[in-house]
Amino acid sequence: MLSQHDSDDDLAAEAAWLSDMVRTWADEEWAAVELVDIHASLGEATGQAYARVRQQEGMDEMGDLVLALSTELMTSFDFYPTFTSPFDVSNKVVELLMLRSGCDVCCTSDSDRTAIQRFEARLAAERAAKQ
């Protein structure tokens, strides 16, 4: 089951986190420099689609999220220039949410399991560099 959000701000924060995580995943998976901008767009579209889907009544199961998010992304983002699909991204979103909440996720690699820590370490380094 998906966690319930206490407020619109909580949902917006989770959508922003997913946006950044999907971008990071795509950048790491397909490291071609010319794809960096499309990965940013993919992350942004994913975060926006996630927020729209989660605002729907009764959206509290991971399976429902995969299907609804896939459908939303199919209609809101052009996947042609990417090396992925709406269903792959939706599955990755659910995997990331489960990993973030401490669940064991079947069939993940060490890289998948440490993605959140790498992402958070990068953010901390960026914040420290700005100070």
Residue 72 burial (CB count, 10 A): 21
Q: Looking at the domain assignment, is residue 1 inside a domain?
A: no
Q: Looking at the domain assignment, is residue 2 inside a domain?
A: no
pLDDT for the residue 61: 85
Return the sign of the alpha-carbon dihedral for residues 96, 102, 107, 113: positive
Q: Looking at the domain assignment, is residue 3 inside a domain?
A: no
Q: How far apart are CA 30 and CA 96, in angstroms?
A: 18
- Per residue in 63-86, pLDDT (tens digit) is 999 999 999 999 999 999 888 999
- Per residue in 2-14, pLDDT (tens digit) is 655 557 889 999 9
Q: Of 34, 1, 2, whose CA–CA distance to 15 is shortest?
A: 2
Domain count, the chain: 1
Q: How far apart are CA 81 and CA 97, in angstroms?
A: 26
Cα of 73 vs its chain's centroid, Å: 12
pTM of the entire predicted model: 0.82
Q: Looking at the domain assignment, is residue 16 inside a domain?
A: yes
Q: How confident is residue 126, by pLDDT bands cut at 50, 70 and 90?
A: confident
Cα of 115 vs its chain's centroid, Å: 11
- Per residue in 26-70, pLDDT (tens digit) is 988 887 666 678 999 999 999 999 999 998 866 778 899 999 999
pLDDT for the residue 123: 81
Higher pLDDT, 115 or 20: 20
Q: Looking at the domain assignment, is residue 104 inside a domain?
A: yes
Three-state DSSP at 22 gives helix
The parent domain of residue 96 ranges over 8-130
